[in-house]
Amino acid sequence: MRKEKGLSQAELAQQLKISPSAVGMYEQGRREPAAQLLVAMAELFGVSTDYLLTGQARTPAEIAALTQMLLNRVAASDRRLEDRTDRPFSRQELAVLFAAMLME
């Protein structure tokens, strides 16, 4: 995708704010990018992170099913939060809550 976009390794590295050697290592399979960098790459190339990880694009039906599953889980979490007593949140509960808030 880098070559299709007409970018050198140095140009891609500059856009992603990483070193050119890191780009080379990713392309050679000698190193794996962090999740945050995968998101930046997906945005830059106009593809999903799934595509970057698997090389296969999701079908619209798969995307709809995944979206519905995520919405159902967020709704279930909302219901659990509404039913809470006054006890403090656990770290795991806070992580789920913040993740759901960021997705909205």
Compute mean pLDDT per 10 residues along the chain, 104 residues long, and list them.
Answer: 93 95 94 92 90 85 87 85 76 84 69
Cα 78 to Cα 44: distance, rounded to the nearest angstrom: 33
> What pLDDT is recorded for position 21?
95
Show contacts of 50-58: CB within 8 Å, 24+ apart: none
Phi, psi of 56, deg, nearest 5: -120, 130
Q: How far apart are CA 68 and CA 61, in angstroms?
A: 11
What are the helix (H) ranges across 1-104?
A: 9-16, 20-28, 35-45, 49-54, 60-82, 91-103
pLDDT at 89: 79
pLDDT at 104: 54
